[in-house]
Structure 1
Amino acid sequence: MTQNLLVELFVEELPPKALKKLGESFAHSLLAALQKEGLAAAAAQVTAFATPRRLAAHITSVLAVAEDKPVVQKLMPVAVGLDASGNATPALLKKLAALGADASCVPQLRRENDGKAEVLFYDSLAKGASLSEGLQRAIETALAALPIPKVMSYQLADGWDTVHFVRPAHGIVALHGEQVVPLAVLGLSAGNTTRGHRFEAQCDPVRIASADAYAETLRRDGAVIASFAERRAEIERQLAAAAARAGSALQPIEDDALLDEVTALVERPNVLIGEFEEEFLAVPQECLILTMKANQKYFPLLDAEGKLSNKFLVVSNISPDDPSAVISGNERVVRPRLADAKFFFDQDRKKSLESRVPGLAKVVYHNKLGTQSERLQRVTAIARLVAEQIGGNELALRAERAALLTKADLLTDMVGEFPELQGIMGRYYALHGGILNDIADAIEDHYKPRFAGDSLPRGPVGTAVAMADKLETLAGMFGIGQTPTGDKDPFALRRHALGVIRMLVEGKLNLPLDRLLAEVFAQFTGIDGFKPNPQALADFIYDRLAGSLREQGYSAQEVDAVVSQRPQRLGDLVDRLAAVRAFSNLPEAAALAAANKRVGNILKKADGPVEAHVDSALLRESAESALHNALVDVVPQADAAFLTGDYTESLQVLARLRAPVDAFFDQVMVNADDPALKANRLGLLATLHAAMNRVADLSRLSA
């Protein structure tokens, strides 16, 4: 007979940023361990609960005793286990004794040939674990598997025993239906009582009548919403309702990470509306929003245009009849934070960004790559090179000026307090100093894209500087051997590479990659131990490019066909992929892809490099003459389309080669006895191979 199981571990306040993962891990690890014990079926359902002071799991259809399991034990060859009279040898008796059996079971031993010899097998039944035994092992397994950020050590009440866990534990509930399951863990014995809300519980302790009554009993008697998901949804509902009360056009800021963290801080949420003096709105709203979110866990309210209002929402853990004291307390606490931000902003504007640049010479960037000032020189030179290639001398001058100022805000009080505002504050201070908008925008945008899905820089100045900043980081770290390994990427080089790729691809920039990387590495002069490695960096970028394209929905074959050619101008990558996809849909595609693969294999086996040259006087077979004539007709058209960037047309024209290519392989022997004929036919194939692989390696489309 099965019943539902409830296990709750009651602890002191858990780390809020880890609570969601802790709750999910505890529940799913417990279910997996019980299934391994044979106490929970494969179809059993688990519900995770997590509040600031508890981790719990409700699991359906759990057995009181697991079913017995048949066990097959391979013993030893018959020749070793039985003597000539068929009696058990000492070796067999010793083996049986180790398994809890004796000589009486010898007649029941099964004989079976394992392919080498006849072997004795002992078939038995392993008694199923009781729930108390299996749950004891399961919870120990689940606790050991918790992704604990940092373990605490604390003593039990006896003053001798020490326990290691994420937070001190004070109680455990284990109910199978209505019955308490005997269980001991972390120095605690299981029961059927827990604790509710610190201040608003209807009774203390809270008695849980059955496993299925857990969530409702906690809600009713303990004033606790046990489910993390339900509590989060309730906070979202209350935030929307409170925002509507605060102003018809106001909306709480969207921040999933903040919502998760606040959900992990309260057991029964109560959203309240606070406000601050409008004079603080003169400070850039990014500063105010960040201090309210990071320091106070408040939800700022924005108007319909996304501008910050002087109102905010507080998610309280108590629900007094008169909330005015709670509201005023939160308003009183946030005011000094906002005042600090205003002070930093006012003080920072007393010095221009240009005046801060020399101070970067005292800021270490990396012990092997020098100071921020030295890095800035490299970034500026790279930005000038990039800008010259995409927009000429005037753009280069603007990019150079922007690059020189990009890191100046690192020395401001505001960025010192809030490092997340790097670039953002630089833009505000640049505009305050009368610097042109596109240069000010570039100071903020040179960090973009900061994450997957982030916007790209707003203009060509920002693009040039952002490219320079990321390329300098990539080249610098590759030059000193600080490349990503496994899942470790401390300098976010994968993100930087994807940023470079996105700017090249989405901006359709005409920047040959190999030449660009060579110019970047050339900026690293006079650095001890620095080893330029543009080839390794190019490999890294193409690898990230292939992964990114597959994530965007392109097939592995399409990506491989294009990226394997290592196209230098990534700006035309999307057009190449579209051309390959269109070509793949042609009826001639499969045959030509297979032929291209065959041609490639033939050329690889040739003695030395093959020149793509044909002597028409040596064309003896009609099929090879027909292929040559087709190439003479088709290749100029395909090349013309390629040079104009019409890659689809370039590949479509090549489809006309299918018939002469098929005829060539059916009727012509490439490896002729006459060396001149063989060389000429290889030259014909090399001409075909070169023509077919300008846009992409079509052989990669072959199944």
Structure 2
Amino acid sequence: MKKTDNLLVELLVEELPPKALNSLGQAFADTLFEQLRTQGLATPESSPTAYASPRRLAAHVTALLAQAPDQAVSHKLMPVSVGLDANGNPTPALHKKLQALGCDASAVGQLRRAGEGKAQALFLDTQVRGATLAEGLQKALSEALARLPIPKVMTYQLADGWTDVKFVRPAHALVALYGSEVVPVRALGLAAGDTTQGHRFEAASRTVRIRHADAYAEVLAGEGAVIASFAARRADIVRQLAEAAAVVGGGARPIDDPALLDEVTALVERPNVLACSFEPDFLQVPQECLILTMKANQKYFPLLDAAGRLTNRFLVVSNIRPEDPSAVVEGNERVVRPRLADAKFFFEQDRKKPLSARVDGLARVVYHNKLGTQGERSQRVRQLAQVIGAQLGDDHLARQADLAASLSKADLLTDMVGEFPELQGTMGRYYALADGLDAEIADAIEDHYRPRFAGDQLPRGRTGLVVALADKLETLAGLFAIGQLPSGDKDPFALRRHALGVVRMLMERDLPLSPSELVVEAVGLFPQAPPETASLLSDFIYERLAGLLREQGYSAQETEAVLALKPGRLGEVARRLAAVRAFAALPEAPTLAAANKRIANILRKAEEPVQPQVDEALLCEPAERELHAQTLRIARQANAQFDAGDYTASLQTLAALRQPVDAFFDGVMVNAQDAALRRNRLGLLSVLHGAMNRVADLSRLAT
């Protein structure tokens, strides 16, 4: 058994981009380990651990071999007829091939033949020496650095003043230890050693020596004042935030924001949470404004009370731990005050003008160079909202939706949204309430952007639901009309998200609205739309629905069977899927699905359009008379159950058709010579096909 030991690799750099730090650290460790394993240096016990702090990327890998085992390699050279002449002597082509592999003429005697006849070929079996750890690590390190998901590459010069290096940030030191031994590798113009640097201000000494690969985290924490693990540092911040909030009291809790927590974790090497405060007068400003300015600009954690309202206290994650933190606290309080004052100023200035006074200004804001201004867009949303409102309710809902739609984009022209675009809609709601509009309209102005992301809440009220549908459908129809469809993983206008939002609203609120009919209304607002636009957009929406259903655990067959009919009311889809699943479990299901597929093929191949009509006088075979009688009887019961919304019972009732369907295909020639008989039998199949496929297209269940 070859010797194994643990490996540590660390790259010391200048401050890394915080939003990318965790992914950079994980990618560095994973790629390094993958490359070492590929070269045979890993063992079954090997595993990587990633480290990432603002100034370092590191990986610790356990149980690596000092040298990979030798490998037997078989080289297929060429066909025997090419490598040997008629007398069995090597040809020039064979000599040339052997030379390319580093072998001389003596290797001819080591060749073996494999295969038979013309397929017989010459093979050379060799032993390839396994890579040493230094060789393997050099290759793995180069590959790990090349594959890093770097958001933006920098170019800098090495100390010689001539050599350019491209990397995410300038690198200053490289550590590579196999146990306690330095591995002689190089990267980014640096030679590996065993020394690094700790915290810029709080390390015990400027240079920190790592004596063993396994001591890395412990030495950095002790001598370097650095928590090297991203996960450990994050957990420490979470603990300190909770403890600091408990000291503040009153049920205070820090705002829950995983993205902010990750970013702050990437900004500090030795976190120290401190409680700060600001003047209570600022709480007159909508809390979303204050929270956003503290999070986005200062990376602070606002504190909420037990009811979820913002308090005038906030938490700061400092990177230093002075004995007297008062200067740090006062400094952060001093810095945040102007930010909050700006928010208060914007809010007060915006309230001097009602939302309605800003609507005309939207005509001067370009939405898209092919789709006009925000003002024109608002008019289209209003038209669509009135149509949807009338379909869902009455004239009152249509009027409410029209008013909310007309004001929905007005807050884009406010100072607050100009400073914080994330607050669009939210500020519109506050300003609408300040203007004296009722809560239904104000909520609709905020909610018309919902759902903004997967899992987001739907609009609260009916008016908001109408305007949200209109807004998303107008966006989809407009961009489809000018050919801006998503392609592959590129979706710059988030059209997949908009379509999924439409699907969720129609489905989860069980709205009596057909997606295809809504699409026709929306596309009709764009005269430049090509004729196929409505069909393409309708298919796009149903594809998003199919993807959502598969994520919820429905099979591709079940989903295709239900959506093949493009059901007009999406709130029924779940019940249809449940019915299909129950039907598929019946013993009759496979036979009926196969028969259904056969019927569909027969009807599709008919020479002329088939009418679902049957002339009983032309039913001459017992099997077709029986099928007709059973279809009428069973379809009557199944249709009644379908109309009552009991889709499961409707499909199970249809299972009784198995025997007469089997008998029909066994004993009746559909494509009879007599044209009248042929048309009648095709009509019978058409009636049967229509009866069987009201809940779903059962042919999609055929294997």
Q: For residues 558 and 43 of structure 1, what CA distance do their matches in structure 2 show? A: 43
1:586 match: 586
Alignment of 1:17-32 (within 5 A): 17-32=19-34
1:451 Cα offset (Å): 0.3
1:363 pairs with 2:365: yes
- CA deviation after TM superposition for structure 1 residue 114, in Å: 5.8
Relative to the length of structure 1, the TM-score reads 0.97
Distance 1:419 1:115 in 2: 74
Cα pair 2:630 2:657 within 8 Å, conserved: yes
The aligned residue for residue 669 of structure 2 is 669
Structure 1 residue 42, shift from structure 2 partner: 5.5
Q: Secondary structure at the match of 1:116?
A: helix
CA contact (8 A) 1:378 1:524 kept: no
2:339 match: 337
1:375 maps onto 2:377 in alignment? yes
Q: Deviations over 1:634-670 (max 9, x none)?
A: 2222223323333233223222222222222233222
Among 477, 482, 485, the alignment partner of 1:483 is: 485
How is 1:560-639 mapped onto 2 (pairs within 5 angstroms)? Answer: 560-639=560-639
Which is worse superposed, 566-575 or 325-334?
566-575
Matching of residue 231 in structure 1 with residue 233 in structure 2: yes
**In structure 2, what is the Cα distance between the partners aligned to 1:414 and 1:697?**
52
Tell whether the 8 Å contact from 1:39 to 1:62 is kept in structure 2 after alignment.
Answer: yes
Contact 1:225-1:268 within 8 A present in 2 as well: yes
* Residue identity matched to 2:232: E
Instruction: Tell me, in whole angstroms, the C-alpha distance in 1 between the residues paired with 2:569 and 2:498.
Output: 18
Of 457, 469, 472, 2:471 maps to 469
Which 10-residue stretch deviates more, 8-17 or 26-35? 26-35
Moved more, 307-316 or 108-117: 108-117
User: 1:681: which partner in 2?
Assistant: 681
Counterparts of 2:123 and 2:521, CA distance in 1: 72
CA contact (8 A) 2:70 2:127 kept: yes
Equivalent position to 2:290, from 273, 277, 288: 288
1:97 deviates by 2.1
Do the aligned partners of 2:78 and 2:122 also contact (CA within 8 Å) in 1?
Answer: yes
In 2, are the aligned partners of 1:384 and 1:396 still within 8 Å (CA)? yes
Instruction: Tell whether the 8 Å contact from 1:81 to 1:92 is kept in structure 2 after alignment.
Output: yes
Distance change >3 Å, CA 114–CA 333, structure 1 → 2: farther
Read off the aligned partner of 2:678 and give its amino acid letter.
K
Work out the CA distance in 1 between the residues paired with 2:676 and 2:501: 52
* 2:195 matched residue in structure 1: 193
Contact between 2:614 and 2:684, CA under 8 Å: does it hold in 1? yes
Q: How does 1:113-512 map to 2 (within 5 A)?
A: 113=115, 116-512=118-514
Q: Matched residues in 1 for 2:565 and 2:44: separation?
A: 48
CA deviation after TM superposition for structure 1 residue 683, in Å: 1.1
State the secondary structure of the residue aligned to 1:449.
Answer: coil
Number of matched residues? Answer: 701
What secondary structure is seen at the aligned counterpart in 1 of 2:670?
coil
SS at 1:336's partner residue?
helix
C-alpha distance in 1 between matches for 2:600 and 2:194: 73
When structure 1 is superposed on structure 2, of 59-68 and 485-494 the one drifting more is 59-68
Provide the residue aligned with 1:107 in structure 2.
109
Alignment deviations for residues 472-501 of structure 1 (CA, whole Å, 9 cap, x no partner): 000000000001011111111000000011
| Alignment match, 2:10 | 8
Q: TM-score, normalised by structure 2?
A: 0.97
Task: Provide the C-alpha distance between the structure 2 equivalents of 1:92 and 1:367, rounded to a whole number of angstroms.
Answer: 66
Structure-2 residue corresponding to 1:548: 548
**Do the aligned residues in 2 keep the contact of 1:192 with 1:208 (CA within 8 Å)?**
yes
Q: Which amino acid aligns with 2:103?
A: A
Give, in whole Å, the separation in 2 of the partners of 1:410 and 1:317. 37
Q: CA deviation at 1:146?
A: 0.4
Residues 365 and 586 from structure 1, CA distance in 2 versus in 1: closer, same or farther, beyond 3 angstroms?
same
Distance 1:485 1:93 in 2: 51
- Structure 1 stretches lacking a partner, 5+ long: none
Could you tell me how far 1:530 is from its partner in structure 2?
6.7
- Kept in 2: contact 1:521–1:532 (CA 8 A): no
Structure 2: how far apart are the matches of 1:302 and 1:195? 38
Q: CA deviation at 1:536?
A: 0.6
Contact 1:480–1:531 (CA under 8 A) maintained in structure 2: no
Give 1:117 deviation, angstroms: 4.0
Q: CA contact under 8 A between 1:47 and 1:57: conserved in structure 2?
A: yes
Of residues 529-538 and 686-695 in structure 1, the stretch that sits farther from structure 2 once superposed is: 529-538
Contact 2:282 2:344 in 1 (8 A): yes
Please give the alpha-carbon distance, in whole angstroms, between the structure 1 residues aligned to 2:68 and 2:570: 60
Cα distance in 2 for residues equivalent to 1:363 and 1:530: 26
What whole-Å deviation, never above 9, does each CA across 1:486-532 have from its counterpart, x for those lacking one? Answer: 1111111000000011111111111122222111122224x5x7767
Distance 1:702 1:208, change over 3 A: same
Q: 1:527-568 CA deviation, whole Å, 9 max, x = no partner? A: 5x7767101101111111111111111121111101111112
Deviation at 1:431, TM superposition (A): 0.2
Q: Which moved more, 1:569-578 or 1:164-173?
A: 569-578
Check the 8 A contact 2:175/2:192 in 1, yes or no. Answer: yes
Task: Tell me by how many angstroms 1:673 deviates.
Answer: 3.0
Q: CA deviation at 1:303?
A: 1.3
Change (3 A) 1:64 1:114: farther
Mapped contact 1:23–1:56 kept (Cα < 8 A): yes
User: Matched residues in 2 for 1:286 and 1:543: separation?
Assistant: 35
Return the alpha-carbon distance in structure 1 between the equivalents of residues 634 and 695 of structure 2.
15
State the Cα distance separating 1:96 from its structure 2 match. Answer: 1.9
For residues 297-317 of structure 1, what are the alpha-carbon distances to aligned partners after superposition, in whole Å with 9 as ceiling and x for unaligned?
A: 111111121111111111111
* Separation (CA, whole Å) in 1 of partners of 2:653 and 2:531: 45
Partner SS state of residue 206, structure 1? strand
Which whole-Å CA distance do the structure 1 matches of 2:357 and 2:642 have between them?
A: 51
CA distance in 2, matches of 1:170, 1:390: 65
Answer yes or no: is the 8 Å Cα contact 1:8–1:174 preserved in 2.
yes
Unpaired stretches in structure 2, ≥5 consecutive residues: none
Contact 1:302 1:309 (8 Å CA) reproduced? yes
Instruction: Give 1:601 deviation, angstroms.
Output: 1.9
Mapped contact 1:35–1:42 kept (Cα < 8 A): no
Equivalent position of 1:534 in the other structure? 534
My pick for the range that moved more, 125-134 or 542-551, is 125-134
Q: CA deviation at 1:235?
A: 0.8
Match in the other structure for 1:557: 557
Note if contact 1:26-1:57 (Cα within 8 Å) is conserved in structure 2. yes
Shift of 1:604: 2.0
Query: In structure 2, what residue type is equivalent to 1:14?
Result: L
- Amino acid of the structure 2 residue aligned with 1:202: A
Distance 1:694 1:285 in 2: 52
> One-letter code of the match for 2:278?
F
Q: Give the conservation status (yes or no) of the 8 Å contact 2:250–2:306.
A: no
What are the Cα deviations for residues 33-82 of structure 1, in whole angstroms up to 9, with x where unaligned?
11222222365200000000000001112222222221212223334434
Q: Does residue 35 of structure 1 match 2:33?
A: no
Structure 1 residue 190 displacement after superposition: 0.4
Alpha-carbon distance in 1 for matches of 2:463, 2:672: 60
Moved more, 171-180 or 574-583: 574-583
The DSSP-based 3-state class of the residue aligned with 2:357 is helix
| Counterparts in 2 of 1:76 and 1:589: CA distance versus 1, 3 Å | closer
- Secondary structure, in 3 states, of the residue corresponding to 1:365? strand
Q: Is the 8 A contact 1:647 1:695 kept in 2?
A: yes
